[in-house]
């Protein structure tokens, strides 16, 4: 395991994601992931499982200070007072007095970005949040957020897998000192049966999932999220730090990108993608 350093944040390169994981499975999987060695847990207000994440962390035996915890403010809480109240609610559910990283979940909103960025800075200045970030922002919005924020933006959490070229977003992130946190790394399971990925996996004696996660974290300034309700897969997905992909193998995965590669793009929430 290593950390990705971005604008003052030291983020474990692989995180355990909890999107669409029911509370009962969260209670089982978060302690299991922490036992394997994960030290980065990702949740969100809209996931509806912050309380279970908090309970699981508290009962895991791993010290709170050893866990990098991310949550996200949902779009209906973007006005100032609901925003501040929502953070307090999240902290109560998560059984903690701070989160390591707080993100704006999606960019589309009638609330001006300046107001949202100011609220992020307010909760950071109050000690409720150690680092701030965004999610699903395009390059123009990343630049705008960076210009508006007194505190540095630590990450932009976006869909990223071999079928989606995110070079523009990566370039913008590096320019502003940010990291990219990749979600949907398995492309809804499509990578598992990809012949190019399977061949590289065979060479290394690894699974296709391990190859894709390794491809992500081997890139500069990229953090990968892994989500599963299988304890065995959680362990396997964590075991990506004892091998490397060659330059040619890295490029072979990049070459899988296609114009229709994006999977997640809700029209009422998404920006104009790069």
Which residue ranges make up the annotated binding site?
Answer: 105
Binding positions for substrate: 105
Q: For Cα atoms 121, 122, 127, give the angle at the middle one, nearest 5 degrees.
A: 95
Coil, strand or helix at 217: helix
Q: For Cα atoms 269, 270, 274, give the angle at the middle one, nearest 5 degrees.
A: 170
Q: Which backbone phi and psi does 145 adopt, to 5 degrees?
A: -60, -45
Tokens 């209906």 belong to 76
- Report the alpha-carbon distance of residue 199 to residue 77 in Å, rounded: 46
Q: Which residues of 67-95 are buried (b: 16+ CB within 10 A; e: fewer)?
A: bbbbbbbbbebbeeebbbebbeebbebbb
Q: Catalytic residue at 183?
A: no
CA atoms within 13 A on the CB side of 161: 26
Q: Greatest CA span in the chain, whole angstroms?
A: 54
> Counting Cβ atoms within 10 Å, is residue 192 exposed (0-12), middle (13-18) or buried (19+)?
middle
Q: What is the dihedral of CA 42, 48, 51, 55, to 10 degrees?
A: -60
Do residues 159 and 183 lie in contact, with contact meaning Cβ atoms separated by under 8 Å? yes
Catalytic residue among 47, 78, 163, 183: 47
Catalytic residues: 47
């Amino acid at each position: 395991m290593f950390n990705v350093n971005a604008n003052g944040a030291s983020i474990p390169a692989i995180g355990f994601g909890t999107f669409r994981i029911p509370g009962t499975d969260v209670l089982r999987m978060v302690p299991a992931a922490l036992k394997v060695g994960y030290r980065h847990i990702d949740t969100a207000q809209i996931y509806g499982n912050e309380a279970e994440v908090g309970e699981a962390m508290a009962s895991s035996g791993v010290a709170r200070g050893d866990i990098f915890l991310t949550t996200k403010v949902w779009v209906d809480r973007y006005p100032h007072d609901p925003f501040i109240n929502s953070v307090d609610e999240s902290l109560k559910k998560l059984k903690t007095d701070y989160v390591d990283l707080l993100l704006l979940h999606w960019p589309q909103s009638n609330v001006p970005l300046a107001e949202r960025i100011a609220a992020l800075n307010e909760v950071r200045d109050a000690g409720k949040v150690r680092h701030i970030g965004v999610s699903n922002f395009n390059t123009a919005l990343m630049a705008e957020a960076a210009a508006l924020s007194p505190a540095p933006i630590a990450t932009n959490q976006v869909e990223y897998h071999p079928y989606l070229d995110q070079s523009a977003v990566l370039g913008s992130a590096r320019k502003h000192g940010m990291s990219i946190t990749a979600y949907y790394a398995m492309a809804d399971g499509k990578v598992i049966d990809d012949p190019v990925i399977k061949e590289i996996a065979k060479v290394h004696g690894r699974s296709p999932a391990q190859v894709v996660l390794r491809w992500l974290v081997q890139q500069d300034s990229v953090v990968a999220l892994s989500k599963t309700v299988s304890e065995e897969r959680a362990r396997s997905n964590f075991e990506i730090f004892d091998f490397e992909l060659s330059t040619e193998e890295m490029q072979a995965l990049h070459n899988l990108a296609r114009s229709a590669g994006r999977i997640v793009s809700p029209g009422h929430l998404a920006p104009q993608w790069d």
